[in-house]
Amino acid sequence: MEGSFYRCYLFVLFVYITTYLNTWIAVKLRGLHSMTWIYMGIQNYFPPYRLCYAYQFASFYIENGALILLHLNRFTAIWLPIKHIKIWNLRNIAYAGILIYLIGFSICYSDFYIGPLYVEVNGLAVDNPALMPEFWLSAALMGPLGHTFPWIALALDLLTLGKILYLRIMGRQTNGVLVEINLFLICLSTFVVQLTLMLYFDRAFSLWNTPEMSLLMLSVVIDLFTLSEAYIGLALNRTLRQKLFAMLFGKKRNGGKVSETTSAFQRSNKETKQFSQSVVKF
């Protein structure tokens, strides 16, 4: 899909889908008694598993970083329309994605050398409680950053909305503003889900009677949060729906192409045309 927003959105989807798949490897299958023998000592006979183990914790920072990237994209599209295309080229988006992953895994650096990862309790492979002191950096940052990410997203969304309303009131960007509002609604819906998850995290262990039930429901909520991005995009954006229908039914539909260049530079096109006309008249 063309446009930097859709590239950022695909990156967000990639992060969430890989996170969801990783929960099956690192969490859900481990909850089966028949799989206990596989997970006990897995870091010794299958070292690449440490990447999956670290990802289940690093994904918290990676997901939130990807969402901030999405909100920031809309912010620059409205506030920096001339520089927006140059800032959000494919190379810079790739660099930003790599940086987000590096930061997430760096915070969880200890997951790559600690062990044993699991101990057997009641026939199940559970996280080794003796390793908790090794998670000091992630434990120290998860709470404060978990409450910071949503408010950063809210601040960017409010600034974006303010500029959209200003352009609407002033009668500028009359064609591209509808595109921006549609993409903004995706970001706003994402923020609502992000805020809901933050509030649930704060109350998760007090809502349920047992720690096991709390972890189970937390896993369910995280899965819903992970899959929500795809549903939000399909519900609010016609271009995404048309691309999906084209892939499912093999038909190409016209009219769904969103030109980010038109959207980003719409505000300066009028002035440019007027200048050209004046030169021709002269």
Domain CATH code at residue 185:
1.20.1070
157 in a domain, yes or no?
A: yes
| Tokens found for residue 260 | 């980010």
Side-chain half-sphere exposure of 183, counting CA atoms within 13 A:
29
For residues 228 and 193, the answer to whether their CB atoms sit within 8 Å is: yes
236 in a domain, yes or no?
A: yes
189 in a domain, yes or no?
A: yes
277 in a domain, yes or no?
A: no
121 in a domain, yes or no?
A: yes
Instruction: Tell me which H or E stretch contains 125.
Output: strand 124-127
Averages of pLDDT over runs of 10 residues in the chain (282 residues) are 78 88 89 93 94 92 90 89 91 96 95 93 89 87 86 88 82 57 74 75 65 62 68 72 68 48 47 42 40
pLDDT, residue 226, reads 66
Q: What does pTM read for this prediction?
A: 0.77
- Please give the tally of structural domains in the chain: 1
For residues 185 and 231, the answer to whether their CB atoms sit within 8 Å is: no
282 in a domain, yes or no?
A: no
The whole-angstrom separation of Cα 17 and Cα 5 is: 18
Side-chain half-sphere exposure of 177, counting CA atoms within 13 A:
15
> CA Rg, the chain, in Å?
23
pLDDT, residue 280, reads 39
Pairing, β 124-127 against β 118-121 = antiparallel
Can you tell me which residue has the tokens 């047992």?
210
279 in a domain, yes or no?
A: no
Give the structural domain span for 163. Answer: 4-268
pLDDT, residue 219, reads 66
pLDDT, residue 214, reads 60
273 in a domain, yes or no?
A: no
